[in-house]
Amino acid sequence: MIVFVTGASAGFGAEMARTFVKHGHQVVMAARRMDRLDALARELGESALPVEMDVASKESIDEALSMLPQSWRQIDVLINNAGLALNTLPAHQVPLADWETMIDTNCKGLVTMTHALLPAMVERGSGLIINLGSVAGAYPYPGGNVYGATKAFVEQFTLNLRADLVGTGVRATNLAPGLCGGTEFSNVRLKGDDAAAAKVYEGTTPLTAKDIADTCYWIATLPPHVNINLIEMMPTCQGFGPLNIRRA
Ligand code: 8X3
């Protein structure tokens, strides 16, 4: 298989690249940070192709795809992994730019990649798109505001893809993890406050990037007649928040 992973320079994406290459597949690793991608490519060998790309920019996506070598162009699996959360402030205090960045990456980047690669999959009658959602797309929590909304978008977009793709042989999955440690997710969200980021995981046994990558690999290696619509996964230590009642 040829697998295209966005956001491949670290965290989930890097682990996905390792997992698919380890099992004998080719992985196009796309991200902005070429130094990280080059290091990963050295680790993984010639089955991994590093590609500089910013999913938030259509021009960057078009350029990256147009430069793919011929033997890397038949993408079997697109993993729309690139995404981020910014801030945990309440809605009335968050800078608009944070909301815009999340929408540009988590929603616009994901649909632009899908729009670019889906027609060829349909033409071939096979392919798989795995979109990285989040439990934040299903359950609201304080400070989740636009992040959760982008992930709700990812879920509904994926299910709507399914609606359009029935009969084409192309599959689509929304993979929605909960608390996951060992990545830069919280460091990015908390804008480099690494102590606060570490606190998010204190006393927990969170999901790991390997859990997510292994789940992607399982989804991608199911027989072609099986479509996983949605997987929501949490660490065992995570549960649901209570509804909030403000008493006078
Ligand atoms: C990441 C999970 O719980 O931080 O998408 O929103 S959570």
Q: At what angle do helices 145-165 and 110-124 cross, to 10 degrees?
A: 10
The DSSP 8-state label assigned to residue 32 in this structure reads S
Per-residue model confidence (pLDDT) at position 177: 98
Q: Does residue 23 contact residue 48 with C-beta atoms inside 8 Å?
A: no
Indicate the average pLDDT of the chain. 97
Q: What is the CATH number of domain 2-233?
A: 3.40.50.720
In angstroms, rounded to a whole number, what is the distance separating the alpha carbons of residues 20 and 1? 9
Q: What is the ipTM of this complex?
A: 0.87
Q: Which of 12, 84, 139, 147 to mutate to test the pocket of ligand 1 (most atoms within 8 A of CB)?
A: 147
Q: Residue 102's closest CA among 80, 83, 89, 115? A: 83
> Cα 197 to chain center, whole Å?
20
Q: What is the pLDDT of residue 243?
A: 92
How many A from CA of 5 to the centre of ligand 1? 20
Best CA proximity match to 110, nearest among 51, 37, 52, 30 = 30
- Domain ranges across the chain: 2-233
Residue with tokens 């990037």: 209
Q: Closest residue (by CA) to atom 5 of ligand 1?
A: 134
Alpha helical stretches, state H, the chain = 11-22, 34-44, 58-66, 96-102, 110-124, 145-165, 185-189, 194-200, 209-220
Q: Quote the CA–CA distance of 171 and 168 in Å, as a whole number.
A: 8
Say if CB 65 and CB 99 are below 8 A apart: no
Tell me how long the chain is.
Answer: 248
Residues near 48 by beta carbon (within 8 Å), at least 6 away in sequence: 17, 21, 26, 27, 29, 40, 41
Which of 81, 135, 141 has most ligand 1 atoms within 8 Å of CB, for mutation? 135
Whole-number Å distance between alpha carbons of 247 and 188: 34
pLDDT tens-digit series, residues 94-145: 999 999 999 999 999 999 999 999 999 999 999 999 999 999 999 999 999 9
pLDDT for 168 equals: 98
Cβ-based neighbours of 130, under 8 Å, separated by 6 or more: 77, 78, 79, 80, 81, 172, 173, 175, 216, 219, 220
Residue nearest to atom 2 of ligand 1 (CA): 178
Residue 147 known to be catalytic:
yes
pLDDT band at 37 (very low <50, low <70, confident <90, very high): very high
Q: How far apart are CA 158 and CA 25, in angstroms?
A: 24
Q: Are 68 and 30 in contact (CB under 8 A)?
A: no
Query: Is the C-beta atom of 178 inside 6 A of ligand 1?
Result: yes
pLDDT of residue 94: 97
What is the longest distance spanned by two Cα atoms in the chain? Answer: 66
pLDDT digits (tens, 9 = 90+) for 214-239: 999 999 999 999 999 999 999 999 99
Q: Report yes or no: 177 and 207 within 8 Å, Cβ to Cβ.
A: yes
